[in-house]
Structure 1
Amino acid sequence: MSTQHWKKIMLGIGMSTVLLAACGGEDEAKEEKKDTEEVQKEDPKKDPATDEAASLQQMTQVVEDAGALKEAENIPAEEKTAITDAFNQYIDAFNEEDFDSYMSVISKTPVNFKYEDEERYVKQIFDSVDSKRTVENMKIINFAGKKADVYAEITATTKDPNSDKEVTRSGKQVTVFHKKDDGWKVAAIFFLASEGDKEKEE
């Protein structure tokens, strides 16, 4: 696997098609954000967390601040369970490389990425590298009927099976879920990478 191909995949780990990185990748994030703005189906102006006009700096602050928030208190027990199950499916299906299960929890009308790009991107990961995500401090920080924001600290360890290259990438993520007729779906992802990610090649 080429270095360029590897780097492209690693820039994506933990955030699907949008990366808000404090340690590189900002130019790529801007490029991807510009491309995805053209196909936004929801009205992002109703929600500051998905405002298409928000700068990378503003969105970085949103994710930074999210970690200090407490879990929302107005969540009906049934909805809390459903949202938590959807988030767990989003993580577990990725770890198990279950493509159908993973894509079934992704919104067909996402806000800050294209469904087709996510489909292609995830398939590429499953076909070319071994990657696992672990989650800590997961909490639903906002609930508004048919929208929920889930905060989590995510670490992804990815290995190239064709070499000894291994990369660990971690960061804070806010995953925005929208409630559809068939359940809660991932509609937007905002990921802020931590500094000092480890890359190892033996």
Structure 2
Amino acid sequence: MKKILVFSTLSLILILGACSKKEDANTNQGSVEDGESTNQFGSIDHGVDDTKDDTKVGFNMTGDSIEEAANVPADEKDSMMKSFDTYIHAFNSQDVEEYMSVLSKEPKSFSIDEEREYIESVFKEYELNREATDVTIVKYDENKNEAQVFANLQTSMKQKSTGLETKRDGRQVTVFTKEDGSWKVNSVYYMEEQK
């Protein structure tokens, strides 16, 4: 059975990468940094309000069927897949600059400065490996310059100081926006697979 969980450990938060919901600029409570859920939203839905069309993820993450959006131009698909590959590669190689280069300048669900500080500390403390399969563009909106990329993710983490290893499987929708001709990560929605 699959269900959305509120994550409470740092090891699971690592797979969320660039998706902290900024509720209050003066505190990290309820953010990706502390592993607590916010007062209003769980750490998985990241403040998604299903009543607003501009914040909905256009894909049911609990279904077995993955359908590619039919309206994606070939050149945009290629560009988006390269951005997604860079996002995964930067995480695996623990390259802070490469990782930051693929993030949106005006993200909806995280702060650039806080994300840099957070990812530097994570890369320093953990050995990481993320494998993405079934990578598919499931929604494309040319008018909004926005796309949603689905992937099944298998993430392995090893804490350098203790040797503690953790493995997680899940599904992720990465929302990209086109900025200055390049596709950038704007927000991320993740659901862990329950075995």
TMscore range, shorter length: 0.7 to 0.9
1:190 corresponds to which letter in structure 2?
Answer: Y
Q: Tell me which residue corresponds to 2:13.
A: 12
* 2:20/2:111 contact within 8 Å kept: no
* 1:131/1:156 contact within 8 Å kept: yes
More RCO (CA 8 Å, sep 6+): 1
2:146 corresponds to which letter in structure 1?
Answer: K
Question: 1 CA distance for matches of 2:156 and 2:163?
Answer: 13
Q: Tell me which residue corresponds to 2:127.
A: 130
Deviations 1:68-112 (A, max 9, x none): 231111111110000000000000011011110110000121112
Q: Tell me which residue corresponds to 2:141.
A: 144
Q: Does 1:117 align with 2:124?
A: no
Using the size of structure 1 for normalisation, the TM-score is 0.73
Q: Tell me which residue corresponds to 2:54.
A: 47
Q: Tell me which residue corresponds to 1:88.
A: 85
Q: Tell me which residue corresponds to 1:53.
A: none
Question: 2 CA distance for matches of 1:89 and 1:32?
Answer: 32
Q: Secondary structure at 1:30's aligned position in 2?
A: coil
Question: 2 CA distance for matches of 1:118 and 1:46?
Answer: 26
* Superposed counterparts of 1:162-181, under 5 Å: 162-181=161-180
1:175 corresponds to which letter in structure 2?
Answer: T
Q: Does 1:191 align with 2:193?
A: no
* 2:92/2:130 contact within 8 Å kept: yes
* 1:142/1:150 contact within 8 Å kept: yes
Q: Tell me which residue corresponds to 1:55.
A: none
Question: 2 CA distance for matches of 1:69 and 1:144?
Answer: 18
Q: Secondary structure at 1:64's aligned position in 2?
A: coil
Q: Tell me which residue corresponds to 1:153.
A: 152
Question: 2 CA distance for matches of 1:168 and 1:34?
Answer: 22
- How many residues were matched structurally? 168
Kindly state the Cα deviation for residue 13 of structure 1 after the two structures are TM-superposed.
2.3
Q: Tell me which residue corresponds to 2:62.
A: 64
Over 3 Å counting, the alpha-carbon distance change for 1:73 and 1:194 in structure 2 is same
Share of identical aligned residues, percent? 29
Gaps of 5+ in 2: 1-7, 22-31
* 1:111/1:188 contact within 8 Å kept: yes
Question: 2 CA distance for matches of 1:75 and 1:87?
Answer: 15
